Amino acid sequence: MSHPNLLTSTREPLDIELKVKEGTIPEDLSGFVFINSGAGTVNSGGLPYERKLPNGEFNQEFGSPVINGDGYMYRFDFTDSGKVKLKTRLLKTPCFYADIASSPILNPNNPYAEIAFKNRGLARMSMKLGTRNQINTAITPFRKPGDKQSRLLATFDAGRPFEFDPKSLDLITPIGENKFWRAGTPPFLNNPFPMVLTTAHPVYDPETKEVFSVNFTKTTRNLLSATEIFHLIFSSEEEIERRLEERISRWEEIEDKEQVVKEVNDFFYEEAAEKEPKSIWDKLRQWYWNLIGRHFSNEDAVYLVRWTGEKNPKSFKIVNENGSNIQIQHNMHQIGFTRDYVLMADTNFKFTLDVMLNNPFPNNARIDSFLRELLDGAQNDYSTLYIVHRRDLVPEAEEVKAHKVVLPVETVHFSANYENPGGVVTLHAAHNCSACPAEWVRYYDECKLHNRPIDPQRVGMLAVGEMDIGKIGKIVIDVKNRDNLEDKTVFLHLEGRPGEKDPGPHTWGVGLYTYRDMLSPDKNVGEIKHVFWQAYGLDDQLLTDFIYRLYQDPKRNRIYSAEQMLEFTKKGAPFVLETVETDSMKVTDHYSFPQDCFMWSLQFIPSNSLNNDIPESLNGYILCTVIGKEENIPKTSSYFSEIWIFDASNLHKGPVVKLDHDELQFAFTIHSVWVEEASDVSLPDYKIDIKQDYDEQIRHIKRRWLRKKVQSLMKDHVYPHFR
């Protein structure tokens, strides 16, 4: 069904059969495709985030990034020849039910409204309850030792993974008790729903039956450090907003940014110190702040997590080869593995406190814009990889040393050949050069090219207007001899022909990718032969003035200057799906999407028929989620949500089938996986007792009144859903 907003998503449970809009469903499709996505909050009822609430008040969630939303899982079933069936469900974590119960929008007079969650940037947070674990990003298939059934994890960068049932899509259990995971927020907060900084891409080795993840902590050196602003922002927003407005005019006139940062920092610190203590705990906290104040935070530390189905995983502290702690600059969105190594990356995706909490006054464009200017910085123009030898991960080890490798380009996603002959590791990587997936389009942003307000339809979309050309990388590292093999490493970048309807293959905005048996729970890929890449093109409405200024520095490691990027962006380029043959690192096939089409997720589906005429790595199909603008509808904007399926060996022919349904509406889908089976699974012996798990958290809340209130909320509104 067409819808008037580009970013439209339903949260309704669907059990439907998709309809053929064009083409024919191939008869040799098989298995199931799962796709994860964010679909708004408990208040919004889906997407878009409307500007006004039904009562006419400004909606605090308006302008939130589309990736800040509850996990909404899609399961496409190809087991019935000639049909594609779709099942969808929200992923309802314990904090999901706490969110509903405390919402003043859903329940204006509820007794928990003062501790409700709110969108604060990339995160949805409550000072009293903690951070929502939205498990809306990716899926990891696995089998526990002895399993005949395939199991699935739903994952998130800021929360522990949850296993869910492949058939019902109901949650089964979190992995590891709360007390196992180290919180990413300062220790004094003691929230029942802690923010856990981990990876959205834990990995599973089918040969060893091991799941690997990470858990890291960071010192908070940002302007809005937790010790100075959390309490203020959450407890007295109107007062702080008024005082900020009084000072901003003077701050805007100061040319020395460091001086402005100091004054704003002092403002929040002094406001905190002036608060009248209400209890012994408040007095102790104020004394503690006055004593060590802005120096108080977590340590910089990285822990590698290994899990094989125990109640709690095993963690190893990972340190540099000189024994020092590892400092993560951005986050650890992606990890990988080979036969002998675990690969952990400091990836260029700022999913940490600086952007999680940089939208505290969404209804005040002036304050929000001012704080964003001070808070945000450009991402590094390089990435760091930490390589651990798996033989060092013995049960008695507490610390394990990692070999550090610096990659000369920004990296968010990568995969590795499973085989590493002679200690040589080969990575296949996406390089988002001077493009920032952690930034999103704000309603007050201006289009850099046109000096006018940005297209309202794109508010909330990732502001990834590129400030340099992206690259597709094949990176070869001789771990054993501590050598980066530059002669075998390739960073492929292609301009294509910007401005043309079909510009040919290009690497403007390299995004997601897929290949045969990627994330398979049954087999590893010894050598990846063909990779199917998404490039999202050049869109003048995603290159905001803010992003331009953030990444215009000529000193960055770049191919094209900021001025050249303006010229390329002015010409424009569409989304492209393209095949890279990894031996030659050349594009062998591609498809250019029509104008005003957005291709978000892509997933390889193997054919269930042998074909000796083509390589096995091309014998299948590529499923894509596509949003596009309806043609031939005058005087109005109308958009569709569709599923397009391509022959993996013949992309340029276009989709072999387009599928839709009146109830199918998605705004932004993310990572996906194909599995052969999706039957209901047995109850695992590592299932966590939710009541016991969170009662332990609540016990550490210092203030008696808050502890009683949270306990009441959990007892009446959360625990009944997890018996």
Q: Which residues contact 113 (CB under 8 A, 6 or more apart)?
A: 102, 103, 104, 107
Query: Exposed/middle/buried for 133, CB within 10 Å: 0-12, 13-18, 19+?
Result: buried
Query: Exposed/middle/buried for 278, CB within 10 Å: 0-12, 13-18, 19+?
Result: exposed
- The Cα 300–Cα 284 span in angstroms is 25
| Six token digits for residue 620 | 């299948």
**Whole-Å CA distances, 152 to 155, 163, 172:** 10, 6, 10
Q: Which residues contact 634 (CB under 8 A, 6 or more apart)?
A: none
- The Cα 502–Cα 652 span in angstroms is 11
- The Cα 545–Cα 548 span in angstroms is 5
| Six token digits for residue 401 | 């040393």
Residue positions forming the annotated binding site? 201
State the sign of the Cα–Cα–Cα–Cα dihedral 97, 35, 160, 345. negative
Question: Which residue type, as a one-letter code, is found at position 365?
Answer: A
- The Cα 598–Cα 629 span in angstroms is 9
DSSP string covering 150-201: -EEEEEETTEEEEEE-TTT--EEEESS-GGGSPPSS-GGG--SB------SB
Question: Which residue type, as a one-letter code, is found at position 98?
Answer: A
Smallest Cα–Cα separation from 363: which of 58, 6, 671?
Answer: 58
Partners of 124 in beta bridges: 119
Sheet holding 620-629, edge to edge: 19-23, 657-660, 639-647, 620-629, 597-606
- The Cα 129–Cα 694 span in angstroms is 11
Smallest Cα–Cα separation from 602: which of 618, 630, 585, 626?
Answer: 626
Helix (H, G, I), strand (E, B) or coil at 461: coil
- The Cα 203–Cα 482 span in angstroms is 24
Strand 32-37 relative to strand 669-675: parallel, antiparallel, unpaired?
antiparallel
Q: Cβ(355)–Cβ(364) under 8 Å?
A: no
- Give the largest Cα separation in the chain, rounded: 77
Residue positions forming the annotated binding site for Fe cation? 201
DSSP string covering 513-535: EE-TTTT-SS---SS--EEEEEE
DSSP 717: I
Strand 335-337 relative to strand 530-535: parallel, antiparallel, unpaired?
unpaired
Smallest Cα–Cα separation from 371: which of 255, 230, 222, 544?
Answer: 222
| Dihedrals phi, psi of 393, to nearest 5 degrees | -90, 65
- The Cα 82–Cα 74 span in angstroms is 19
